[in-house]
Every structure is written in C-alpha cells, then in structure tokens.
Amino acid sequence: MKKSFLAVACSGIGVLLLAGFQAADDQYLSVFGRINTEVNANSRAYETLAEATQKIGHRLMGSPNGTKAEQMAFDLLKKYGYDVRFQPFEAEAWVRDTVMLEVVPNKSDNFRSIPVVSLAHSPVDAKIQGEIIDVGNGLEADFEALKGKIKGKVVLANLGLNNGNLGAKNLHRSEKTAIAIRHGAAGVIMVCGVPGNVVITGTASVTGSLISIPAVCISRESGEQLRQWLTDDKNLHAFIEMRNISKRIKARNVVATLKGGGYFTKEKVVIGGHLDSWDLATGATDNGLGAFSIIDIARTFKALKLKPKRTIEFVLFAGEEQGLLGSKHYVKNAAKTQQIDDIVFMYNLDMTYDPTGINLHGRDEMRGFFEHVGGQIAQTDAQYTNTVVSRAGLHSDHQPFMIEGVPTAAPESNLPLSIINCYHANCDRLDLVNKTAMKRAVSVTSMLLYATADASEIASKRLDSNKTRDYLAAQGLKKELIIGQDWKWAD
C-alpha cells in the first residue's frame, strides 16, 4: 500500500474511500497470483474456441449450429464441476435466403449489379424499386436536412461516420433504419466503411421483430462507386429483391452457478456474454472471445476452489445478435421471480480481449474500489495499465440490466484493427485471435470478478426507476432508447 494512501486513510475521508475495498492488499495479491498462474498454465479458452469454430462453425440462434453451441457450453461447464441449467425461451428467429441489388440510371435499362448482403430482420419477401437518396451518415440531422424528400426512396447511408462528422455520436444501423422508416423510405442501403470489399451483417431492427422495408449492406468500394454514379446521374434507381425466413424457435441461455461462501451468498454477481454469432463466418471474435473466456473463467474458479462471499452466475446468452433476446429474457425472468434485487453487479464480456482496465458504464461509485483492485492486478500482470473509464453504451447484453438499474461494467479491451474490421463479417475467424491475449482476458477478468464478488461492500447500488431514468439521460442514451422503443418513462 502506498504511503500517501495510508496518510489519507487516517482521516475521515480516507475511511470513506476505504469502504469499498476492505480486503487486505496481500489477500488480493495472493489470490490474483494464483489465478494468473492457473490461467497461464491450464487455460482452455483458446482451445475450446478453436473446437467450436472448427466443429460447429457459426452459432446463429435457432439454427442447428446454435443448438450445438448451447449444448457444448453446457457440457463444458458440467465437466468443470458446475450445477448447470438451460434457461429456455421462445423467440422469432431470422435467417437469410437470397438477395439482389441492382441500380440503373433513370429511363435506362443499363442495370448494374452490386454485391450485397441482407441485414437481419428485413422482410421475408421484398421486391422494391426506388430512387436513391444519399443521407450521408444517416444521423437524425442528416434525415432532417432532407425532410419531405425521402418518402418512397431508397436511402443510402454510412454504417460509420465519414465526411467531416467524426466528432459526432454515431447511431446503430437499426436506429438509422428506424429513422428511415419513420421518414417513409422504401428501402435502405448501408455502406460498410472497412476497406477490402468487406460486407457485414447484423440486425436492422430496433425491436428484434421484422421491419417493414428491405435493408442491405454493401462494401466501402461499392459505396464509393455508387456515389460516383450518383454524381454522374442524379436520378439513379435501386432495385432490391430478397427472400428471408422468419419463424418461432426455441433457444436457451446456459447458466452455471457458484454459490457464495459468506454472509452475502444471497447477493449475485452475474458475468455474461452472448454465445450466438452471425452466419457469415464462425464468430470467433464476436463473440467467441467473450463466451469462451467466460467458460474458462468458470473453470479457473473451480480449479482453484475459489469461493467468494457472493454467488456468481456465469451466463451464456442466446440471441444477442437478433435483439438482446436472451439477456432480456434473463432479466425479465429475474424481475418476475422477484430475484432482480439479488443481482448486485453485472459484467458483460462482448469481444473482451487483451484488457487494460475497466469501463464502469457511467456508474462511478466504485471508481476508488476498481483503482485499488487494478493496482493489485497491475502488480500481477505488468501489461494491465489500470485504466478506469466510465461511459455507457447500448446494444449488448448489459443493456437490459442497465435499464433495470443494475450496475454494470466491462473489461476495457485492446482490440486490434484486424478484429474490429471483421466485426459481423465473413473474415471473423480464428486466425484473428491471439492465444496469449485471450488468456489475459480470462486472467484479468477472473481477478476483477473475484474482487467484486468478495468485496465487503458493493458501493454501486441498484437504482430505482426515477434514478435509472436520470442516469440513462445523463449518459446521453435517451434518444437512442426512444428510437429503440426501450425508453419506458413518460416525458
């Protein structure tokens, strides 16, 4: 412990600062050292991820592959000594079939075909034609600037932020699509920003239900070509034809429980991440990185016979990619059974990799705790820079917990551009994953999880409805939640 900290601790202020981390330094160092040694020697995270990518492939919810992945996760956790259960739920699942995009100048039969993929939750059957209108980045302001000119047309929008808007806050593809529908668009063409003819998929629905218009994605190079054609011919038309499948299916969250060993055993720390992936590739990084790290974190706790004060629930969620379906079901069930108050903290591992710190998602009450714990982690892992950030975002499995006022956090990951560029794309494969970086994710997150579950106090409390509303608004999430139909408060 630093001398400067000891001096502060002698004052009343110091007592308050210490409230969140009363465990002795040497206790953390001892446990963290054991965790680090165990993971480096015996981690199976990379190996089980490799097995999943090679033997199963993609893990799309509702597909035979998705069912195989759920069973694989269940069997691994059972093998590691856990009381494991499936948490089944029914949902509407979407599967792509065929799609075609052609563009043609007005009053011409000179069709130009463009390589394209459907965005999820597009209609099961669509055949539309419309003049193309470029809305740039597809932000609210971009649509408002063309208000009254969009109805019946096919919107062209960037997935990312370009053209001088790099300082603005981007919207999710589903939110851009929702705005386009609100303005009466006939279809949506999203332009991927990654070079190399990369196209990505993902949901275009804010609710997880089918949308009313077709939405597709084209590559950066195709987008540049299309915009050049628009410069040459202002009346360029798009023809989009697609068929997809939508049906009710049964999916399963996989839940393993480690009972706490102390007075706080009724309190629960959830560590979760989505097991499902899109079908263009194997989902090795999104979210094989998070899902198979969680399974190996569970293995590590059992191997070391760790038994913190609080109960830990390890959860592999189904259906995140199709609308956070598994995590929404988990939280809804917890509220229905009056167990939501037992959940005192939630860690979300979505593409967690080579971590350098932690993101507190705007809940700063435990900043001192995590700075202290991070200092102990840094003594065990020299690459850990103990960066504590606090910014909240949406569109991953922490969102349903956050909306219920549960404090959430995530390891702050150091993702290389090669992984970021293959998000939801056909290049998301095992060769992008570094085994050592994945081991670090398991080791560091195990340390964070242990310290949280064993803390004498969780300073971040579940917020009531009004405080949750104020917190979400202060984090700048109100507009996005309204677009996504997840804002449950009256203005």
- Distance separating alpha carbons of residues 117 and 120, to the nearest angstrom: 9
Note down pLDDT in tens along the chain; length 491 residues.
Answer: 443 333 333 333 333 333 344 445 566 899 999 999 999 999 999 999 999 999 999 999 999 999 999 999 999 999 999 999 999 999 999 999 999 999 997 656 678 999 999 999 999 999 999 999 999 999 999 999 999 999 999 999 999 998 656 568 999 999 999 999 999 999 999 999 999 999 999 999 999 999 999 999 999 999 999 999 999 877 899 999 999 999 999 999 999 999 999 889 999 999 999 999 999 999 999 999 999 999 999 999 999 999 999 999 999 999 999 999 999 999 999 999 999 999 999 999 999 999 999 999 999 999 999 999 999 999 999 999 999 999 999 999 999 999 999 999 999 999 999 999 999 999 999 999 999 999 999 999 999 999 999 999 999 999 999 999 999 999 999 999 999 999 999 97
Q: Where are the alpha helices (DSSP H) in 355-433?
A: 367-380, 399-403, 417-420
CB 213 within 8 A of CB 186: yes
Predicted TM-score (pTM) of the model is: 0.93
Q: Is the dihedral of CA 173, 178, 179, 181 positive or negative?
A: positive
What secondary structure does DSSP assign to 428-487, as a single string?
--GGG--HHHHHHHHHHHHHHHHHHHH-S---SPPP-HHHHHHHHHHTT-HHHHHHTT--
Confidence at residue 19, expressed as pLDDT on a 0 to 100 scale: 39
- Distance separating alpha carbons of residues 427 and 429, to the nearest angstrom: 6
- Distance separating alpha carbons of residues 234 and 214, to the nearest angstrom: 22
Confidence at residue 14, expressed as pLDDT on a 0 to 100 scale: 38
Confidence at residue 21, expressed as pLDDT on a 0 to 100 scale: 42
Domains of the chain (ranges; CATH) run: 20-91+248-483 (3.40.630.10), 96-245 (3.50.30.30)
CB crowding 438-476: b at 16 or more within 10 Å, else e? bbbbbbbbbbbbbbbbbbeebbbebbeeeebbebbeebe
- Distance separating alpha carbons of residues 366 and 257, to the nearest angstrom: 25
Confidence at residue 110, expressed as pLDDT on a 0 to 100 scale: 77
Residue type, 130: G
Confidence at residue 10, expressed as pLDDT on a 0 to 100 scale: 34
Confidence at residue 233, expressed as pLDDT on a 0 to 100 scale: 79
Confidence at residue 9, expressed as pLDDT on a 0 to 100 scale: 32
CB 273 within 8 A of CB 352: yes
